[in-house]
Amino acid sequence: MEGEVIGTGPYRATKLWNETIKLFRGGMPLRRHWAHFRCYDWSFTGSEALDYLHDLLRRNHNFGPEVTRYQTLQLLRKFLKAHVVEDIKGRHGTEEFEDNGHLYRFPSQSPLKSFPTRPLLKVGSDLPRLIRWDDYEELPQRENIAPSRSSVLTSDLWNKRHSVAIGDVHECKLIRRKEITSKQVDHIWKSMTVAHLQRVLGLDSFDGVLNLTHVSGKHIVHNVFSVNKSGIVVLENKAEDMPYWVVSAMKCLANWPNGNESRQPVYPGFERDVLKTVGDYFQRLKEPLLTFHLYEVFVNILSLLQEQDVATEALQVSCLLLPPPNRRRLQLLLRLMARVCQNPHLPPLNDSIATRTLMVQMFSPCVLGSADEMDLDELLATKLVTFMMEHHSTIFQVPSKLRCQVDEHLSHLKRVQIKYAGSDTDFSSSPAFCKQIRKLESEEQRVIGTQTPLPELLEGLIADKELPAKDKKKRLKQFQRSYPEVYQQRFPTEESKAAAVPEKTFRFKPPLKLFNFKKPLQPFQRSWSFRA
């Protein structure tokens, strides 16, 4: 029973939890067991449950074959505390699930997690507004509300926009703009980064996935530009960095056997003690490196791991949202894990499991985890950390597409503006936010936004009494060439055109009278002398 593949979307971790419970309850073999001289129907032992659930998780597309038996045991212990299962006497919560012949059963009602009842936001409405040319001097007051896009243009605005097409060019002037502040640059990076992340994840909204109030544009800019030659974040406040002894221990393992910079005496098992020192530091952190706020984002990325390029790009964008100290720790930790797994000179760090498995099991809880104790943290973290360790050299690079988009927008904001006389609208500004829409919606916007003002413009041209007939006829011909459909709809026949725009009638003028024969001719009288 492989189960349903849970794709990207809000509350994916909760959906995975509920799906796992449904599969476990629906497929777990139940039979009669004897214990303490009593017969218990519809029951199962701890070992039977562990065997079945482990095989179920390994065949499930949402988890995969890397799930270990120990992780399955940890999940069953969570199931017992959450009252998904109970022991044969009905006890749960305080008991420990054991891999033995102890009997368990399912309660009559399974406590599936419920989803929040808050109303979902409209599509794209939770994206922060992108600064445009005409409002670059001050940030919007409500970052989480997208700007409303006007669909209908007034005829006067259309006149200014298409003045060349109708033969009327308004006076224009160039206006230079002020410098963009660092706060505005941070806001632009934030708005374009979260919009890029939404497109990569294929989400209609961030509701149930990410609260944008926890996203800092300043952190994004720092993660992009404040890096060393190796691409690792450089912190401004050194107090936020890892202790020196932790960094030394990590260098010792990463460069083994030439990494003992402190020249400490090496004894049998020295490398294991060094690894334990590093593990203790990361396991004592207050929250995972990927933070509780970004938990659902990275859980959604898990559904994209089959498409390596898409998953890598999603991780590149998501890791930009991390606080710089977390990003730096994560970079150094993943690089350490990769080097330890690839170092042939390093002795085995555990007698029972391979080094690669040990590294993933030890540090996965330090990387990904939720604030809710009853969750699939161990299973999800193992799968994600394994992928991040294998591609650590690329997931901390800034996506070239995102960087180009931000650079182009900032370059656009630094250009001079062309404004027409009598108009406060900047027609050279880029749209505040672009998103993919349905074809039917696109056709509706085209009809409303383009066809509606054109007939108004045509009627205004026809009703203009101050425009000479010759100029009116010339402009009507220009309009007909530019918009034949609108013109044909207004004037389907020549009679309709003649009724709306009557031709000017010319009256016959009599010839000029050169002579008036009613009066006698007057003799020519010289009124001045031709002599000088």
Please indicate, yes or no, if residue 256 is contained in any of the structural domains: yes
Please indicate, yes or no, if residue 148 is contained in any of the structural domains: no
pLDDT at 113 over 50: yes
Residue that is last in its domain, among 105, 124, 147: 105
pLDDT-above-70 percentage for the chain:
73
Please indicate, yes or no, if residue 185 is contained in any of the structural domains: no
Residues 241 and 307 in one domain: yes
Residues 276 and 342 in one domain: yes
Residue that is last in its domain, among 105, 133, 160: 105
* Length reported for the chain: 532
Q: Which of 376, 389, 356 is nearest to 20 (CA)?
A: 376
pLDDT at 290 over 80: yes
Whole-angstrom CA distances from 431 to 144, 149, 174, 240, 491 are 17, 9, 21, 39, 35
Q: Which of 334, 298, 338 is nearest to 314 (CA)?
A: 298
pTM of the model: 0.69
Highest mean pLDDT among 188-192, 349-353, 416-420: 188-192
Residues 454 and 370 in one domain: no
Please indicate, yes or no, if residue 416 is contained in any of the structural domains: no
CATH number of the domain at 357, please: 1.10.555.10
Domain encompassing residue 474? 439-498
Q: Which residue has the tokens 């033969």?
A: 167
- Mode of pairing for the β-strands spanning 103-105 and 417-420: unpaired
**Token reading at 15:** 């959906």
Please indicate, yes or no, if residue 523 is contained in any of the structural domains: no
Residues 372 and 261 in one domain: yes
Residues 258 and 328 in one domain: yes
User: How many structural domains comprise the chain?
Assistant: 3
Residues 284 and 393 in one domain: yes
User: Rounded to whole angstroms, how far apart are CA atoms 277 and 461?
Assistant: 82
How do residues 94-110 score in pLDDT, each as one tens digit?
A: 888 999 999 999 998 87
Mean pLDDT of 209-230: 95
Q: Report the pLDDT value the prediction gives residue 154, as an integer from 0 to 100.
A: 44
CATH number of the domain at 84, please: 1.10.10.10
Please indicate, yes or no, if residue 244 is contained in any of the structural domains: yes
Q: Which of 223, 225, 227 is nearest to 215 (CA)?
A: 223
Residues 373 and 472 in one domain: no
User: Rounded to whole angstroms, how far apart are CA atoms 302 and 305?
Assistant: 6
**Token reading at 168:** 């009327």
Q: Report the pLDDT value the prediction gives residue 481, as an integer from 0 to 100.
A: 83
Q: Are 198 and 168 in contact (CB under 8 A)?
A: no
Cα atoms found within 13 Å of the Cα of residue 168, Cβ hemisphere only? 17
Q: Report the pLDDT value the prediction gives residue 441, as an integer from 0 to 100.
A: 65
Please indicate, yes or no, if residue 199 is contained in any of the structural domains: no
pLDDT at 265 over 90: no
Residues 281 and 351 in one domain: yes
Residues 276 and 359 in one domain: yes
Residues 249 and 362 in one domain: yes
Please indicate, yes or no, if residue 62 is contained in any of the structural domains: yes
Residue that is last in its domain, among 82, 105, 128: 105
Residues 254 and 350 in one domain: yes
How do residues 123-173 score in pLDDT, each as one tens digit?
A: 444 566 666 655 544 444 444 434 434 333 444 554 555 554 555 555 565
DSSP-based helix, strand, coil % in the chain, nearest 5:
45, 5, 50
**Token reading at 373:** 């104790």
Residues 468 and 391 in one domain: no
Q: Among 228-242, 286-300, 410-424, whose mean pLDDT is lowest?
A: 410-424
Q: Report the pLDDT value the prediction gives residue 418, as an integer from 0 to 100.
A: 62
Mean pLDDT of the chain: 81
